[in-house]
Chains A and B, each alone.
Chain A
Amino acid sequence: MPFIDVNGEQLEVDEDGFLQDPEKWNEDVAKYLAKTEQVEELTEEHWKMVNYLHDYFKKYQIAPMVRKLCKDNGMDLKKVYELFPTGPAKGACKIAGLPKPTGCV
């Protein structure tokens, strides 16, 4: 497994760049991951979604479904893609420090 270097700390990520240990997540990690997902700067709107996802995962150990994620944040899917060009799963969830959602197809 590859590692990323955030402020001198080595963090393990999987082959798609998802953080392996959600406990290691913090603001700086989010900023680092954001750059890998075409988000140059995390604005207030970005943080709203990122924090929501992180908290949701902490509580339920699973990522919310897309409809729920849009509803709970008062955003439509188009807005989500404007903020996170690589989408809610690959972009937003990765930045929020969630491990990769599993599934084959």
Chain B
Amino acid sequence: MPELRKTPMLDQLLDGPFPSFVKEIKKGAEKNEACNDLLGQLELSYEEKITHWKHGGIVGVTGYGGGVIGRYSDVPEQFPGLTEFHTMRVNQPAGWFYKTDRLRKLLDIWEKRGSGLTNFHGATGDIILLGTHTDELQNVADDLAHEGWDLGGSGSDLRTPSACVGPGRCEWACIDTLDIVDTLTRRYQNELHRPMWPYKFKIKISGCANDGVAAKARADCSIIGTWKDNIQVNRTEVVNYVNGGFDIIGQVVDKCPTKCISYNPVTKSLSIDDNNCVRCHNCINKMPKALRQGKINGATILIGGHAPILQSAFMSWVVVPFMEMKPPYTEISDLLEKIWEWWDENGKMRERTGELIYRLGMRSFLKATGLPAVPQMVLHPRTNPFFFWDKEEVNQ
């Protein structure tokens, strides 16, 4: 093993109270050449202010079109350990629950066949295995399969669906996020492993509007738990909060986005106009002992979130205000398949679903999916009442 590379600039990132990737990669560098070279190349990039990774690469394993991301150094003479440094994505279990022996086995495989560096978990939700050689890819995939793991998505396919921990730990889960993510992942193996679309498609599932996996910002289809009936109010607990000095006006009433909560200081009672509540969850978060979600649960389905590529970043927006979420989840599957069909037929290369809706219009999207136009789809329904009907639908 050659000497550890000198990395004065990177070393500054060791200072301070924060966790440091430099510290972690240095541990790897003691036993693995690629880790050592990775630090060296990054130091060089810091000096020259330019990346030393080549643009893209196409590598893979048999039968799969996704799951592996090809990476090559553009200065392999200087950093031979990075000549090939491919990333592999591994499908995470629902809710990120592991037994330690499973993790040990996974890491044994990766220390033997790759750099040993991992990222738990990537933005996609997958376990990210960072850095191995082309001729090890198939071996890694085989070893993983032998241990019951599978690769995740990459490229223009269904990305590994991901979900918040939901009912595994959390009292706010309105839907069984774990079962939904597991069901959809198994159902759409073909879409996940074999890129066939204009670009990527992400599904993220949060149990409630706290949106633990940031589904609204990061998924083409966000499935977010909600309720249909009224917020449950415990009057005694409301009084207890107020008597305890809780700022109910500042924290709850004034923060309600639709101003549908009112508070009577004389009777110390709270009342909610549930018809105007948009289920944002703020009031419940602020006084969890006094307020509970309703009892009729399901999900709101949103479409179109993604980071910038053809157009700017989008947040997803509502297309189905309330959908029941009971196994076998046929309704959401029907909708997803209709969306894919429409998008795949009409989308341009690298055009995400949300961008296609912008280009062809919401009307075209609604026609293709058979969804009814509802006020919840309008960006500012309380200030902008306009809906543009199709010509054929208007009596003239």
Binding site for B on A (CB under 8 A): 15-16, 18, 38, 62, 65-67, 70, 77-78, 81, 85-90, 100-105
Supposing A16-B57, A67-B345, A77-B196 touch, asked if A105 and B69 sit within 8 A by C-beta, the answer is yes
A16 to B195, CA, bound (A): 19
Q: Is there a chain A Cβ closer than 8 Å to B267's Cβ?
A: no
Supposing A66-B197, A105-B69 touch, asked if A90 and B58 sit within 8 A by C-beta, the answer is yes
Binding site for A on B (CB under 8 A): 54-60, 62-65, 69-70, 72, 84, 154-156, 190, 194-198, 200, 344-345, 349
**Contacting residue for B56 out of A81, A87, A90, A102, CB 8 A:** A102
A-B contact list, 28 entries, CB within 8 Å: A15-B54, A15-B72, A16-B58, A62-B349, A66-B156, A66-B196, A67-B196, A67-B344, A77-B190, A77-B194, A81-B65, A81-B194, A86-B60, A87-B64, A87-B65, A87-B195, A88-B65, A89-B65, A89-B195, A90-B58, A90-B60, A90-B65, A100-B57, A100-B58, A101-B58, A102-B56, A103-B155, A105-B154
A86 to B70, CA, bound (A): 14
**Contacting residue for A105 out of B60, B63, B155, CB 8 A:** B155
Would A103 and B56 count as touching, CB distance under 8 A?
A: yes
A95 to B376, CA, bound (A): 50
Would B59 and A90 count as touching, CB distance under 8 A?
A: yes
Task: List the B side residues contacting A89 at CB < 8 Å.
Answer: 58, 65, 155, 195
Quote the shortest CB–CB distance from A36 to chain B (angstroms). 11
**Residue ID in chain B nearest A18 by CB atoms:** B58
Task: List the B side residues contacting A70 at CB < 8 Å.
Answer: 196
Task: List the B side residues contacting A100 at CB < 8 Å.
Answer: 56-58
**Residue ID in chain B nearest A87 by CB atoms:** B65
Task: List the B side residues contacting A62 at CB < 8 Å.
Answer: 349
Quote the shortest CB–CB distance from A87 to chain B (angstroms). 4
Would A16 and B70 count as touching, CB distance under 8 A?
A: yes
Closest 3 CB pairs of A and B: A87-B65, A66-B196, A85-B62
A66 to B72, CA, bound (A): 26
Would B63 and A81 count as touching, CB distance under 8 A?
A: yes
A90 to B154, CA, bound (A): 14
Task: List the A side residues contacting B190 at CB < 8 Å.
Answer: 77-78
**Residue ID in chain B nearest A64 by CB atoms:** B349
Task: List the B side residues contacting A81 at CB < 8 Å.
Answer: 63, 65, 194
A70 to B59, CA, bound (A): 21
